[in-house]
Amino acid sequence: MPSASSNRRSVLNLTGSLLRSLAKEFGGPGVIGIGLAGSFARGQGSGLSDIDLNIFLRKPPRSKRESYMLHYRKGYLVSVKRVGLETTRSSLKEPQLAIWAVPGLRQMQLLYDPTGKLAELQSLANTFAWHRLEKKAREFACYQLLTAAEEVHKILAGTQRNDPSKIVYAAVGLTLSLTEAVAVHKGLLIESENAYFAQVQASMGKKSSWTQAHNLAIGIKAGAAFRKGVAALQLYWQTFRALEDLVPEAHYEVLQPTLGLIRRSGYLDLRL
């Protein structure tokens, strides 16, 4: 395992001892390698950023709970993603997966790679050429457009019946589907999920009719994004209250500090 000094400068936000401790804790039998991904790997980590650990396994996880879990360590939220090595390798062959996988692998800091398999996988990402997937990308984008027609019908039916629940649910699905269609069609390698919408809009033109419609569909207009964010935080709090009696004790490792952040933000009392 490399020392902190052998990682890129971004990793210096995290101590070498913490990284070694995390790699040791979440490693174990079946683990081929461990990589640091996300904002800290990109040099953009902050006090509220989570530590993204990618755990590569010989065999893929058997359940969603095994494939993704959250923890709190040393004041950081730690996101642990477990994935089969071959599953990740295969994702480089599918355009809708490659737009996410390629940048993630390129950015990843190798914390544990005794066999060199992760370095080999990262090398494949570094030499990735989009033109090999262009035919598949066109087919995927057109199929997304085709299947999104169902959401169009639902929105139109919802407007006729004055059914806001139906309209909004279908509109969310339609918007996400069309965003993905454009991202794949354009061959955009998404540097961060936080920049996903901005990258797609930039590819279509920031002042284009598509971007104007997209902004309205996702709710980005003056003050709307902030209100949506605050409303979502309040919704998280109220959902916890609704499920409080059912929550396993082990979940409080993550829930307690998360709820504390919401409470200290002052947004619970903000009227929207």
pLDDT profile of the chain (272 residues), mean per 10: 37 76 93 95 89 95 92 95 96 98 97 96 97 97 96 95 94 96 98 95 96 90 81 94 95 96 93 82
The answer to whether 114 and 130 are in contact (CB under 8 A) is no
Please say whether the beta carbons of 174 and 158 come within 8 A.
Answer: no
Check residue 11 and give its pLDDT.
39
Alpha-carbon gap, residue 111 to 20, rounded angstroms: 8
- What pLDDT shows up at residue 6? 37
pTM of the entire structure?
0.88
Task: Identify the pLDDT of residue 47.
Answer: 84
The pLDDT value recorded for residue 3 is 35
Residue 13, judged by CB atoms within 10 A of its CB (0-12, 13-18, 19+), counts as middle
Cα angle, residue 12 at apex, residues 263 and 126 outer, rounded to 5°:
105
User: How high is the pLDDT of residue 135?
Assistant: 97
Of 119, 102, 2, 104, residue with least CA distance to 53: 104
